[in-house]
Amino acid sequence: MRKPFMFLFILLFSTHIYAQKRIEKIEEDFNKIKVSSNIIANIHINANENKVVIDGLDKTEVDVRFRRDELRVSLPLNHLFSNSDTQIDIYVKSIQEIEATSSAELQIKGLINQNKISMKAVEMASIDAEIDVEKLELYLLTGGSIRLHGKAKVQHVIIKTGAEYYGELLKTKTTNVEISYKGIAEVFASESCTATVIAGGEVSVFGNPASLEETTKLGGIVKRVVVNK
């Protein structure tokens, strides 16, 4: 009788531990989030408190660290992230800068509605968000990808080394975009767009802006796209 009982106890205890979510509350305020290590996460905007909620196989392996006004979420080197099982939700009261690196995938939950936001996607990482801001700054490098919709008065975009920006559904008045080394961009500007494209980069400009200033070198391409309604 004792062995079956002990086995059942261990099984129930293990199931209880597995079912518990890991919650990391962040008492300090911060302006930047950096997520790396192939992590897939949701970032919830305008939350009541700053916290990270982790569930699944990798919950004890995820490193949540606060350093110099920056919240970092990552995994140890050479650790394989269990995408199908592990769920990470990052809740923030406010944020000024979001960075995804090393194949991380970030889905922003809720509208980013503020004066300014900066985003960075590098090393095959991606960010997907809806925004309503006055000023937007984007930096994409080495296969990074950003997809945005909503509106911004002004956006500044820098794309290098095969990175991709999909901003056709982000309505802006003024766009400045710099692309090099086979980077790709889709942008929308209703008033003016300044596009500098070199070394095989390509930008498609939607919105039929009154002013479109183009600088192309070494195979760079600028396309004005007029959508007939």
**Per-residue pLDDT, 226:** 87
Integer Cα distance of 209 and 166 in angstroms: 18
CA–CA separation, 200 vs 198, rounded Å?
A: 6
Residue of 41, 50, 157, 12 whose CA lies nearest to 102: 41
pLDDT at residue number 227: 81
Residue in 24, 31, 42, 95 with CA at minimum distance from that of residue 67: 31
Mean pLDDT by 10 residues, the chain (229 residues): 48 48 93 95 97 92 92 85 79 98 97 98 98 99 98 98 98 98 97 97 97 96 88
State how far the Cα of 63 lies from the Cα of 72, in Å rounded to an integer: 8
138 vs 175: CA distance, rounded Å: 11
**What is the model's pLDDT at position 64?**
96
Provide the CA 29 distance to its chain's centre, in angstroms. 20
| Lookup: tokens for 123 | 């090393």
pLDDT at 68: 87
Q: In the prediction, which pLDDT does 19 show?
A: 57
pLDDT at 1: 46
Cβ-contact 105, 81 below 8 angstroms: no
- With tokens 């095959």, the residue in question is 124
Global pTM value: 0.90
Q: How far apart are CA 183 and CA 146, in angstroms?
A: 12
Domains 23-108 and 111-229 share a fold: yes
β-strand pairing of 22-25 with 51-55: antiparallel
Query: SS3 of 126, please?
Result: strand
Q: How far is CA 126 from CA 33, 103, 191, 210, in A?
A: 14, 7, 28, 31
Answer whether 126's CB lies under 8 Å from 108's CB: no
Which of the listed CATH numbers 3.40.50.300, 2.160.20.120, 3.40.50.1820, 3.30.420.40 matches domain 111-229?
A: 2.160.20.120
Considering the segment(s) 23-108 as one domain, its CATH architecture is: 3 Solenoid (2.160)
Q: Report pLDDT for 4.
A: 52
- Quick count: other Cβ atoms within 10 Å of Cβ 203? 27
Q: Where are the domains of the chain?
A: 23-108, 111-229
